[in-house]
Structure 1
Amino acid sequence: MINKQELVSVIIPAYNLESYIERSLRSVLEQTYENIEIIVVNDGSKDSTAEVAEKILKNAGKIYKIINQKNQGASVARNTGLTAAQGKYIKFLDGDDTLFPWTVEELVGAIEENKCDIAFGGQNVVNLKGKILYRYDEMYEYTQGVYESKEILKKFLLQTMHISLNSSIFLKEIIDKNFIKFTPGTRYSEDNEFISKYLYYSGSGYVFNKAVANALYRIKSTTKIPSLSVFHNVGAMLRLKRFFEERREREIAKIIESECIPAAYTWTIGNLAFNGYPLFDWLRIARMDKVRRNVISYKIHNKNTKFGKQQNFLISLFRFSPFLVYVLLRSYSYILKILHR
């Protein structure tokens, strides 16, 4: 049995999540680990997110804070939560995602029993009914146990090991000592940037070979055109490359240049197609020399997984016909919407 005296701060950024935040909060309140404070950062919601959170938490018997701020994005909301957090451990959770009842206890236990600086596992993608749409083990393959942080960082950057904020737990001391923050204004890959910097400053981590969190797949409006802000993925990788170059970590910087930046372009182009960016505008972007060069140079290292095989097929098809890639991704998006209404 692990020592339950150390406080865990669970930070939940929330924007217009009145229909979802109860699920997330209930999953935190049901944790077998008892010593938890819950920090909800209401990021300028226009609905009753804050009121729903207050109603659930006020009689729950947990330390909690609901912080209201003007809308500045998830990065600033998480930074606000970090400033307010009093726990030894930091656990992030998006306001529409959930944990298993044992998640915090097992993550903290792994850190304390193995004297690590981070513990994490996989993450499934589920619909509102709880049905698993994507299993983590269909996307990644690795062995459970203790790894040196630099090895984890390399595997993470090469996308052969999955780490998300939802499925990880961190030491606040390392975050504070090294001034690790989320980049304000960044809407995509701010989590990867934060995690990579944390791994750089940590010594070792414990990896669970199972899902420890569930991310909710939400059907987006078909009338809303996706934003080019998804290219923030690329910006985050460029900042990380500079971060490691400044610290003379040339091997890591090289991995980011040759692996992560092409991956960021590939994910961005795929995201735009999947979410319905206008076809001819999408084709114009996809055929830009820098974009095309990065997409076709993207190396897939987990080719044996179901997800890796799908990626490999789409990259091969992109070389032949970007148009067909767009059609396939849009068709898949429509099928998901029909199946999960």
Structure 2
Amino acid sequence: MEDKLVSVIIPTYKRPLKLSRAINSVLNQTYSNIEILVVDDNNPNTSERKETEELMSQYQNNNRVKYLRHECNKNGSAARNTGFKNSSGEYIMLLDDDDEFLSRKVEVQVKCLEAKDGSWGACYTKYKRLRNGKVDTICAENSEGNLYFEELCRNLFIQAGSNLMVRRSVFEELNGFNESFSRNQDIEFAVRLLKKYKLAYVDEMGLIYHRHLASEKRFFDMDKITNQYIENFQSYIDELSDSNKKKFYQMVNLQLFRYRLISTKNVKSSYNMIKSGEVTTINVLRYFIHLGYRKIAKKSYGFKL
């Protein structure tokens, strides 16, 4: 099995202090036939670029680690694509620079895809999310098979940006990541993947996802991101049955309702979504009960409409 080379792509931007943890978690895998491609997306002449270069110098004699530098800051999607273009592995994995693999992750995912036929394009494992070093959430998602609609609804909680192992042929067919996306990059990629291929689940804890502290959060405009997302996938949405189309918009609008009410404290805008029929009162109640239970139980999984 170890004759299959696995390429792990780690894009990095403004987090040099956390990068070594991610790299070392890959070097410490039980599966050894791995190459690591660290793609530095920091602008040249910045302190982050200098610190990253200093950190990477400790790996310069390790032939399993490649260090690639962008000439200017692009984005995470571009960094992942740069990593892929310089990779050689039969299987491709992605790891955010502040996350880490548990020691058997690569081994169990290679075993999974080796046992599946080509209709299975990727696989994922369980994960746990840590906040301030303490477990905040455990993955309770265990779905597998044809999950295209769930992913299109942004309702499949698999942490695709650090959790997928993808066949190289599939990554090539999809032409990598869409570099126009500033957020939801992993979801956008997973939607296109799952439109054509099945997703397998490996019942083992394989990933630690580190949640940012409040001071480290990168703020975003959920309305703008959602509009871009819908525009990008309008042709996919148009192909849905009438009932699934209705479910799609209800799910996306519930996500927007939550963002407007909780993140921006815009009560009037949230109320207007109910008044206009963009969301129903019963679904809002069910959705917030679901969110409340998830928080209490410390579990992460999608909402069933």
TM-score interval (norm. to shorter): 0.7 to 0.9
User: Partner of 2:302 in structure 1?
Assistant: none
User: Partner of 1:15 in structure 2?
Assistant: 13
Given candidates 180, 199, 218, the residue that maps to 1:205 is 199
SS of corresponding position for 2:187: helix
**C-alpha distance in 2 between matches for 1:108 and 1:267:** 38
Given candidates 190, 199, 206, the residue that maps to 1:195 is 190
Distance change (3 Å), C-alpha of 1:34 and 1:293? farther
Q: Is 2:221 the counterpart of 1:229? A: yes
Q: Does structure 2 retain, via aligned residues, the 8 Å contact 1:39–1:85?
A: yes
Following superposition, the deviation at residue 15 of structure 1 comes to 0.8
Distance change (3 Å), C-alpha of 1:91 and 1:49? farther
User: Partner of 1:162 in structure 2?
Assistant: 157
Corresponding residue pairs, total = 288
Q: Which has the higher contact order (CA 8 A, sep 6+)?
A: 2
**C-alpha distance in 2 between matches for 1:212 and 1:288:** 42
Given candidates 294, 302, 305, the residue that maps to 1:307 is 294
User: Partner of 1:269 in structure 2?
Assistant: 260
Over residues 164-218 of structure 1, what are the superposed CA-to-partner deviations in whole Å (9 max), with x where a residue is unaligned?
221111112112123242242x23212111101011122x332123432111122
User: Partner of 1:41 in structure 2?
Assistant: 39
Given candidates 22, 28, 31, the residue that maps to 2:29 is 31
TM-score (structure 2 length as normaliser): 0.79
**C-alpha distance in 2 between matches for 1:16 and 1:69:** 15
Q: Percent identity?
A: 18
Over residues 91-119 of structure 1, what are the superposed CA-to-partner deviations in whole Å (9 max), with x where a residue is unaligned?
01100100001111111110001233211
User: Partner of 1:136 in structure 2?
Assistant: 139
Over residues 23-80 of structure 1, what are the superposed CA-to-partner deviations in whole Å (9 max), with x where a residue is unaligned?
1111011111112111111112531443244234223341423223311221222222
In structure 2, runs of 5+ residues without a counterpart are 299-305
**C-alpha distance in 1 between matches for 2:292 and 2:268:** 31
**C-alpha distance in 2 between matches for 1:132 and 1:291:** 38
CA RMSD of aligned residues (A): 3.4
**C-alpha distance in 2 between matches for 1:100 and 1:249:** 38
Distance change (3 Å), C-alpha of 1:61 and 1:81? closer
Distance change (3 Å), C-alpha of 1:263 and 1:35? farther
Distance change (3 Å), C-alpha of 1:179 and 1:135? same
SS of corresponding position for 1:20: helix
